[in-house]
Chains A and B, each alone.
Chain A
Amino acid sequence: MKMKKELSGYVFFIFALSAISVLALITLFIIARGAPLIAKVGLFNFLFGMEWAPSQEKFGIFPMIVGSVSVTLGAALIGVPVGICCSIFLTEFAPPALGNIFRPAIQLLAGIPSVVYGFWGLLFVVPFIRNYLGGPGLSILAGAVILAIMILPTVISISEVSLLALPRQYKEGALALGMTHWQTIYSVMLPAAKSGIVAAVILGIGRAIGETMAAIMILGNAVALPSSILDPVRTLTTNIGIEMGYASGDHQQALFATGIVLFAIIMVLNASAQYIVRRRGK
């Protein structure tokens, strides 16, 4: 390899290695701390157990898996259509001046700390749901609304990039064939940019499933299967966030084990996003 001949190559290699080795250390640490508990309780009992009460030696995280999935799905149902429509507006309809206001504003949305989203949700979204829809307000719906806003920047910017990356001929050809602007977008551009948009959605979902601080504040954190979208739930991330303060022994291991499950889910999501993007490249 050429790199070996150059000193600077080594230096950069070491820096690159440090990033990877931190990942490896974290992975090993989480597995080393969490795996013994999964082995003790049994993987099936851990994943599909309905009761979580660490002080009584009950370690079942199924309600939290349901919690994570339901909140994330809700966020995607609200956030993805809005995000894709917004990216279509930016690429196809927005006058340059307006686009120059929208893009930085959307980037700013990504920069707001999640605790601020959580606090805003707690003071505005939660009381709104409690007063007009019923229930305690802290609910799947509140979480889905807040997380939908939080995933917007991811969905919008990646969808926009994949729409902009389309060859101009696609659009020009469709228009030349007599299609309207909307038909062109709907039947030519969106299908052509499909893989990029799907990647955007998956990365947005990854963002939603990993969110912790805002989720703790607005989901209510009850460890029970929800029976409606107005019920409180606990997600995998919030389980760790809310209980780590006092956890020790098996309880602490169980939180690391929750981390393993979360880690696996995020890895699958990211890998599938990468796979979809690469397939487009070929």
Chain B
Amino acid sequence: MIIAGSTSVQPYAELLEEAFAVYAENTLLYQCTIDIQGGGSAAGLTAAETNVADIGMSSRELRETEKEQLPYIFEIAKDGLAIIVHPSNPVANLTTNQLRQIYTQETKNWSELGGNDAAIHVITREDGSGTRSAFEELVMGKTEGIHPKAIVQNSNGAVRLLVSDDPNAIGFISLGLIEAHEGQKEVKSLKLEGIDAIPENVKNGTYQLSRPFIFAAKTEPAGVSKDFIDFIFSPAGKAILAQEGLIV
């Protein structure tokens, strides 16, 4: 069985697959091999349409034409992006437009946003990262991209660490990773357009920086596919996704 698609969904699908393999062996009493491949949402959905893959993974809503080809759609979770700053930063709310201008460096000083008179240290993720592509899609739109002078870090954790330590930094991370674990310093998540970055607001659709993680299939899942999808929506599967910071 092959599952292919979004590189944002891929790591979560791999975690689920590992847990499912154990569950299948112990409870369902069969051995399964599920092959999880990247390639991007578009490639994965095309693979599912052409029967190259059994299930396509997407990190965006399906287009109408895609929905016609792949009528069996399962939203396994929602991924939210939180905009984080240092707890001492007086700025509490940004508009999407203000956020975009920070990342294009049209806005260079916190005082322009009602904060301290200090240069904004912009932190982003590396090219190719799913979190970065989500941010570009949801915030930057079709304008010029993130300014090249922005500091680049290659994990949610590295971005969080820097922001927790630098009073003038701003960064974006997965919504589930805002909370400080033992030994970590706090970060503050900003409201966007007045809406708190909390799971409830992602679920009810008011917080804008979120995207769905979708499994889509051409035919009704049966056999291993069905068992795997049932597992994802079981308490055990949901717990895995929630623990990784996704909203289920």
Q: Which residues of A contact B (CB under 8 A)?
A: 51-56, 63, 122, 126-127, 130, 135-138, 216-217, 220-224, 231-232, 234, 241-243, 245-248, 251
Contacts and interface: CB of A to CB of B under 8 A. Distances in A.
B165 interface: yes
A54 B169 contact: no
Interface in B12-69: 38-39
B166 interface: yes
Contacts of A137: 166
B18 to A, nearest CB: 19
A246 B7 contact: yes
A220 B151 CA distance: 5
Contact of B128 (A217, A234, A241, A243): A243
Contacts of A122: 161
Nearest to A130: B166
B40 to A, nearest CB: 8
Given A55-B133, A246-B128, A248-B38, A222 B150 contact: yes
Contacts of B127: 52-55, 243, 251
A63 B162 CA distance: 23
B166 A246 contact: no
B149 interface: yes
A136 B166 contact: yes
Nearest to B8: A246
Interface of B: 7, 38-39, 119, 121, 126-130, 133, 145, 147-154, 158, 161-162, 165-166, 168-169
Q: Which 6 A-B pairs have the closest CB atoms?
A: A246-B128, A221-B152, A224-B148, A136-B121, A220-B151, A224-B149
B128 A63 contact: no
A245 B158 CA distance: 15
- Which among B121, B133, B147, B169 has the greatest number of chain A C-beta atoms within 10 A? B121
B148 A63 contact: yes
B154 A242 contact: yes
Contact of A127 (B130, B149, B153, B165): B165
Contacts of A248: 38-39, 128
B166 to A, nearest CB: 6
A243 B151 CA distance: 14
Contacts of B39: 248
Contacts of B38: 248
Given A55-B133, A56-B145, A136-B121, A251 B152 contact: no
Nearest to B146: A53
A33 B168 CA distance: 41
A138 B154 contact: no
A217 B121 CA distance: 16
Nearest to B169: A136
A246 B129 contact: yes
A39 to B, nearest CB: 22
- Which among B119, B130, B152 has the greatest number of chain A C-beta atoms within 10 A? B152
Contacts of A55: 127-128, 133
A116 to B, nearest CB: 16
- Which among A63, A122, A136, A138 has the greatest number of chain B C-beta atoms within 10 A? A136
B136 to A, nearest CB: 8
Nearest to A223: B148
Contacts of B119: 135
B235 to A, nearest CB: 31
